[in-house]
């Protein structure tokens, strides 16, 4: 038996070496991981479908490997004959087996990469040729800035604590893999990692091996594709699950690593808990551009859902903090507050919602008294959001909840100050500091929801208003007349319309969205993004509609430039916008502009789009400087290279000089959220990459291209665009080829359910 197993493992090793590229096949760990997963899967396949089908899969596998290695046409013909001889049922099992085996191979590679990286960290080796240009290690970046680039430690610290990276999570219909399957893959990765740990005992190894087989079988038995389309609320829940699993704990863990890295360059000070290093936003339930499933009701639901989730995460954690902060020494400020709360609770004989253990908190434990009040208000905050989400109303008064993050932070800050004043800073810098950092990062809304809508939808609303007022057709007005009228109304106080305004379903949808923004707490929302924005009136229109719908805290308005022509015209459009005095006073010296990678790449090809994006950013920064405005670039990047994907580190460092300056906003598309935040180490690496590269770009910006380089790039871009369009837009056989070479038709069926148009 042992010999047969050895022969089988040797056979698998040989097959894997044929399939894996030469540069990776030299890594024995990867081959070992691959072989183990494949061996376990083949055993499972035999148990489920019998010896014959297992042998068929192995034969297909071996023929594929042989053809890949030698490109012998006979092997390909033999492989084709074998596959076509299968009946329909066996064909499905074989196809699913290979899909599953590819997933397992990817998991093995991910574990191997993590293993390799851990070894490098242990050895302090960051400078290998494959790692240095694509990774951003925070400690190495700080050392490089201080050592090689001669920045003082204090300069680095000041720049770091004032910079902001805002990661915007989006939903994406091409992320068709079910979350339940992704979670099983995560457990396979974890089991495989633990199985090869050095200090593992034989019993542990046996138990982990059994757990690994269970997860492989569970993944194989799970349908890979969603058979019913998820609602936007489902997409939101799926996105928020990453906060539960990795991001929530990942942020304070990462910030502690930043503290350690700072200490190693001589800064004996922690990053302030309210420093905005990492922020999170979302488009899930707010991106209505071309998606009729995202309604005002959906936007309201996802905001309440996120608020409920945030309160629940805090509530589950406050108990641990209460257990930890059992000290009796405190400053006078906290003692007075605790005494007041004790007196008030005695008058209120029923201490609502205290769990049995906390029914009575001893008066000599002031921190617990104060945190008990925080815990109660968190409970009410969560329950009020839950009631509003389920029923549209709640009996819990708003004053018993936290309505803004400042009142949530205040008692926590008091605890922190008191501990420090009593000589207990080491305790203050433990779980309490982590909690403060979480509150500062996630607030009461977990993420801030962006709203995205196309400019023509706003034009339709204003056209209906002007026609109702019998002053003409807004759509037919010139840009100058539109601006004049919009500014006149923005400067006045009279309401533009009442309930008698004739409304189509589309107009009502736009106005109701603004009413939802007005109804909910302002910290639920981030930016209002306008697709296809080409003129100042597009931005002013949103400003006016916010005022008319009684939005007390207007969202910042962000024009989005995507297609090649829009990118070329963007600097002139921004200059016209900044020349409007009313708007310049409104923005208080700050403006955000979003640039799109997907549409520009589809319009002109990857090369030309990348070059035009670069030039557009340079010109936009020049315009902003001319008008004294700090510009934040919002990068709408995707996962694939055609959507701006690529190594994050290089992508940030290659941005034009002066375009980041410590402020970066970028989308994390749904298609890549799993590989960015699916596990703790992936989450850590993602936060590290963005933070370190943003810091390096700000403190050591790249040089601007020389004139001769620009001339050559311009010439190449023209040729590249012509060649790209000659194939994609002019070649009549392109669509046929595209559908044969890609799973577009399969995605098309899925996306049709979503009500979204797929670009071909």
Q: Tell me the average pLDDT of the chain.
A: 86
Residue the block writes with tokens 């990678």: 597
Helix (H, G, I), strand (E, B) or coil at 630: strand
Q: Give the pLDDT of residue 56.
A: 93
Q: Give the pLDDT of residue 377.
A: 95
Q: CB of 365 within 8 A of CB of 385?
A: no
In this prediction, residue 34 has a pLDDT band, given cuts at 50, 70 and 90, of confident
Q: Give tens-digit pLDDT for 625-637.
A: 999 999 999 998 8
**pTM for the whole structure:** 0.85
What mean pLDDT comes out for the span 358-386? 86
What mean pLDDT comes out for the span 486-495? 91
Q: CB of 639 within 8 A of CB of 669?
A: yes
Q: Give the pLDDT of residue 69.
A: 85
Q: Give tens-digit pLDDT for 325-336.
A: 999 999 999 999
Using the predicted structure, report yes or no on whether residue 133 has a pLDDT greater than 60. no
What mean pLDDT comes out for the span 517-545? 95
Residue the block writes with tokens 């293993």: 115
Q: Number of H helices and number of E strands within the chain?
A: 32, 8
Residue the block writes with tokens 């940030």: 652
**Cβ atoms within 10 A of the Cβ of 19, count?**
14
**Cβ atoms within 10 A of the Cβ of 146, count?**
18
Cα 51 to Cα 11, 46, 209, 228, 512, distances in angstroms:
17, 5, 22, 34, 61
Q: Give the pLDDT of residue 8.
A: 43
Cα 230 to Cα 158, 293, 307, distances in angstroms:
44, 10, 21
What percentage of the chain reaches a pLDDT higher than 70?
Answer: 88
Q: Give the pLDDT of residue 638.
A: 72
Q: Which of 602, 615, 635, 649 is catalytic?
A: 602
Query: For residue 220, what is the enclosing H or E element?
Result: helix 202-220
Burial group, residue 50, by CB count within 10 angstroms (0-12, 13-18, 19+):
exposed
Short-list 441, 486, 440, CA closest to 465 = 486
Q: Give the pLDDT of residue 746.
A: 64
Q: Give the pLDDT of residue 739.
A: 86
Q: Give the pLDDT of residue 651.
A: 86
Using the predicted structure, report yes or no on whether residue 508 has a pLDDT greater than 70. yes
Question: Minimum mean pLDDT among 43-57, 216-230, 297-311, 519-533: which range?
Answer: 216-230
Q: Give the pLDDT of residue 172.
A: 64
In this prediction, residue 128 has a pLDDT band, given cuts at 50, 70 and 90, of very low
What mean pLDDT comes out for the span 109-130? 67
In this prediction, residue 644 has a pLDDT band, given cuts at 50, 70 and 90, of low
Using the predicted structure, report yes or no on whether residue 47 has a pLDDT greater than 60. yes
In this prediction, residue 360 has a pLDDT band, given cuts at 50, 70 and 90, of low
Three-state SS string across 244-296, please? Answer: HHHHHHHHHHHHHHHHHHHHCCCCCCCCCCCCCCEEEEECCCCECCCCCCCCH
Short-list 408, 403, 166, 450, CA closest to 302 = 450
Q: Which of 100, 172, 380, 458 is catalytic?
A: 172
Using the predicted structure, report yes or no on whether residue 45 has a pLDDT greater than 90. yes
Does the annotation mark 172 as catalytic?
Answer: yes
DSSP state for residue 231 in the 8-state scheme: P
Give the separation between CA 428 and CA 225, rounded to whole angstroms: 47
CA 366 and chain centroid, separation: 39
In this prediction, residue 119 has a pLDDT band, given cuts at 50, 70 and 90, of confident
Using the predicted structure, report yes or no on whether residue 263 has a pLDDT greater than 80. yes
What mean pLDDT comes out for the span 202-207? 91
Q: CB of 382 within 8 A of CB of 308?
A: yes
Q: Give tens-digit pLDDT for 8-32.
A: 434 444 444 444 443 444 467 788 8
Q: CB of 453 within 8 A of CB of 290?
A: no
Q: Give tens-digit pLDDT for 669-704.
A: 877 888 888 888 889 999 999 999 999 999 999 999
Q: Give the pLDDT of residue 523.
A: 95
Q: Give tens-digit pLDDT for 595-623.
A: 988 878 888 888 998 999 999 999 999 99
DSSP 317-378: HHHHHHHH-------HHHHHHHHHHHHHHHHS-S-TT--GGGSS--TT-HHHHHHHHHHHHH
Q: Give the pLDDT of residue 173.
A: 54
Q: Give tens-digit pLDDT for 146-169.
A: 988 899 999 999 999 999 999 999
Using the predicted structure, report yes or no on whether residue 215 has a pLDDT greater than 70. yes
What mean pLDDT comes out for the span 562-576? 90
**Cβ atoms within 10 A of the Cβ of 709, count?**
10
Q: CB of 458 within 8 A of CB of 541?
A: yes
**Cβ atoms within 10 A of the Cβ of 255, count?**
24
Task: Please report, for the chain, the start and end positions of each structural domain, with discontinuous segments joined by +.
Answer: 1-117+180-223, 288-441
Q: Give the pLDDT of residue 347.
A: 55
What mean pLDDT comes out for the span 178-186? 81
Q: Report the b/e string of 132-143 with b at 16+ CB within 10 A.
A: eeebbbbbbbbb
Does the annotation mark 602 as catalytic?
Answer: yes
- What is the fold of 288-441? de novo design (two linked rop proteins) (1.20.1440)
Residue the block writes with tokens 């871009």: 717
Helix (H, G, I), strand (E, B) or coil at 635: strand
Q: Which residue has the higher pLDDT, 124 or 732?
A: 732
Cα 92 to Cα 49, 89, 182, 224, 503, distances in angstroms:
12, 5, 21, 13, 51
Question: Minimum mean pLDDT among 105-114, 200-209, 313-322: which range?
Answer: 105-114
Token readout for 724 is: 């790209």
Q: Would you report the helix, strand and coil content of the chain in percent, each value rounded to 5? A: 65, 5, 25
Give the separation between CA 584 and CA 47, rounded to whole angstroms: 70
Three-state SS string across 359-376, please? Answer: CCCCCCCHHHHHHHHHHH
Using the predicted structure, report yes or no on whether residue 1 has a pLDDT greater than 60. no
Using the predicted structure, report yes or no on whether residue 349 has a pLDDT greater than 90. no
């Amino acid at each position: 038996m042992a010999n047969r197993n050895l022969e089988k493992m040797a056979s698998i090793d040989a097959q894997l070496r044929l399939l894996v590229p030469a540069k990776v096949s030299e890594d024995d760990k990867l081959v070992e991981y691959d072989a183990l997963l494949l061996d376990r899967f083949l055993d499972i396949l035999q148990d489920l479908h019998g010896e014959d089908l297992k042998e068929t899969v192995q034969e297909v596998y071996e023929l594929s490997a042989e053809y890949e290695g030698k490109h012998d046409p006979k092997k390909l013909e033999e492989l084709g004959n074998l596959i076509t001889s299968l009946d329909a049922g066996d064909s499905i099992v074989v196809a699913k087996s290979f899909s599953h085996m590819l997933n397992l191979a990817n998991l093995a590679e991910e574990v191997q990469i993590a293993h390799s990286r851990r070894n490098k960290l242990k050895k302090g080796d960051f400078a290998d040729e494959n790692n240095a240009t694509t990774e951003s290690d925070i400690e190495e970046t700080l050392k490089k800035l201080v050592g090689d680039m001669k920045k003082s430690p204090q300069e680095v610290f000041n720049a770091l604590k004032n910079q902001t990276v805002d990661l915007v999570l989006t939903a994406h219909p091409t992320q068709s893999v079910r979350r339940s399957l992704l979670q099983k893959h995560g457990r396979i990765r974890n089991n495989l990692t633990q199985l090869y740990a050095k200090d593992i005992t034989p019993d542990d190894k046996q138990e982990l091996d059994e757990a690994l087989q269970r997860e492989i079988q569970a993944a194989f038995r799970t349908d890979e594709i969603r058979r019913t389309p998820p609602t936007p609320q489902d997409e939101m829940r799926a996105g928020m699950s990453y906060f539960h699993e990795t991001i929530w704990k990942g942020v304070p863990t990462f910030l502690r690593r930043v503290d350690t890295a700072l200490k190693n360059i001589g800064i004996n000070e922690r990053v302030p808990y309210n420093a905005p290093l990492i922020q999170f936003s979302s488009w899930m339930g707010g991106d209505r551009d071309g998606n009729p499933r995202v309604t005002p009701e959906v936007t309201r639901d996802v905001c309440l859902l996120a608020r409920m989730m945030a309160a629940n995460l805090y509530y589950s954690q406050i108990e641990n903090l209460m257990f930890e902060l059992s000290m009796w020494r405190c400053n006078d400020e906290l003692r007075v507050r605790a005494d007041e709360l004790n007196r008030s609770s005695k008058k209120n004989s029923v201490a609502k919602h205290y769990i049995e253990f906390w029914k009575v908190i001893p008066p000599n434990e002031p921190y617990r008294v104060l945190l008990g009040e925080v815990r109660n208000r968190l409970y009410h905050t969560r329950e009020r959001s839950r009631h509003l989400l389920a029923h549209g109303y709640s009996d819990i008064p708003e004053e018993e909840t936290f309505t803004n993050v400042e009142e949530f932070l205040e008692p926590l800050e008091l605890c922190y100050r008191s501990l420090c004043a009593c000589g207990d800073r080491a305790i203050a810098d433990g779980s309490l500091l982590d909690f403060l950092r979480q509150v500062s990062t996630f607030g009461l809304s977990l993420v801030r929801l962006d709203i995205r809508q196309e400019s023509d939808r706003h034009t339709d609303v204003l056209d209906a208003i002007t026609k109702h007022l019998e002053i003409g057709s807004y759509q037919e007005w010139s840009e100058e007349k539109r601006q004049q009228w919009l500014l006149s109304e923005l400067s006045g106080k009279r309401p533009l319309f009442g309930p008698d305004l004739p409304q189509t379903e589309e107009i009502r949808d736009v106005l109701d969205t603004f009413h939802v923004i007005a109804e909910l707490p302002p910290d639920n929302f981030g930016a209002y993004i306008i697709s296809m924005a080409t003129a100042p009136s597009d931005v002013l229109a949103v400003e006016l509609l916010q005022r008319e719908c009684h939005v007390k805290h207007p969202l910042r308005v962000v024009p989005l430039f995507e297609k090649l022509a829009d990118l070329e015209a963007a600097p002139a459009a921004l200059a016209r916008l900044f020349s409007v005095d009313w708007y310049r006073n409104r923005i208080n010296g700050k403006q955000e502009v979003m640039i799109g990678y997907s549409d520009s790449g589809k319009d002109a090809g990857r090369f030309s789009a990348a070059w035009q994006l670069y030039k557009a950013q340079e010109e936009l920064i020049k315009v902003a400087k001319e008008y004294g405005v700090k510009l934040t670039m919002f990068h709408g990047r995707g996962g694939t290279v055609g959507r701006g994907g690529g190594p994050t580190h290089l992508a940030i460092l290659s941005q034009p000089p002066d375009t980041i300056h410590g402020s970066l906003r970028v989308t994390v598309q749904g298609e890549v959220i799993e590989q960015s935040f699916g596990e703790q180490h992936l989450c850590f690496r993602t936060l590290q990459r963005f933070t370190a590269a943003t810091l390096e770009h700000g403190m050591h910006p790249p040089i601007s291209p020389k004139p001769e380089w620009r001339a050559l790039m311009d010439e190449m871009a023209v040729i590249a665009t012509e060649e790209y369009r000659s194939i994609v837009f002019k070649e009549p056989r392109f669509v046929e080829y595209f559908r044969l070479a890609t799973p577009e038709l399969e995605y098309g069926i899925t996306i049709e359910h979503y009500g979204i148009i797929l670009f071909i």
